[in-house]
Amino acid sequence: MHHLLVEILAPLIFVMLWQRYDLSWHFVAATMMSSLLLMIAFIDWDWLIIPNSLVLLGLLISLMDQFIFTHDNGMAPLIGASLGVAILWVPSRVSQALSGRESIGAGDIRLAAVLGLYLGWQGTLLVIGFACLAGALYGLIGISRARLQRTSKIPLGFFMGWLAPAI
């Protein structure tokens, strides 16, 4: 089923990116990043992991886009990456200290840093905020239908991966 969704959604995303960026280096970078995020989303959904190799590829795409194609030598990408880490890392550590178990995976935190570098701080706030909201709704619906437990893991990377191309 996932293959069918990717086969349908990837071309739609590419057309939207083409309309937004025309044929440019931004289009190339956005297409690569969107493809990567689709892979990350489905891997996280199926296995609740975000492979480091894909996060590193996202880091390379983000660096290429920010510092080569846009020539952005300012602090905005670094602020975005730092904010992405902080927004997820701080609650993760507090939750772990209180409950004794991991609440937000390290892959989610690394992905947030890459998205922060790629999208800047404003996009990072939107993606993480809406991803957390979508994850909470998914969890509440799953618990109310007895398909999830309160201790079930929710793939935050799935929601970030789907929302980031829309920003």
Q: Which two tokens stand for residue 136?
A: 């909470």
Q: Which amino acid is at 15?
A: V
- Contact at 8 Å (CB) between 123 and 163? no
Secondary structure (DSSP) of 101-149: S-SS-HHHHHHHHHHHHHHHHHHHHHHHHHHHHHHHHHHHHHHHTTSS-
Dump pLDDT digits (tens) for 54-74: 999 999 999 988 877 776 667
158 band by pLDDT with thresholds 50, 70 and 90: very high
Q: Which two tokens stand for residue 154?
A: 């929710």
- Contact at 8 Å (CB) between 104 and 95? yes
Taking the C-alpha atoms of residue 28 and residue 31, their distance in angstroms, rounded to an integer, is 5
1 pLDDT more than 90? no
Percent helix, strand, coil in the chain (nearest 5)?
80, 0, 20
Taking the C-alpha atoms of residue 156 and residue 160, their distance in angstroms, rounded to an integer, is 6
6 pLDDT more than 90? no
What pLDDT shows up at residue 137?
Answer: 98
Q: In terms of pLDDT, which residue wins out, 66 or 37?
A: 37
Q: Is 150 helix (H, G, I), strand (E, B) or coil?
A: coil
146 band by pLDDT with thresholds 50, 70 and 90: very high
- Contact at 8 Å (CB) between 127 and 166? no
Give the end-to-end CA distance of the chain in Å, rounded to a whole number. 26
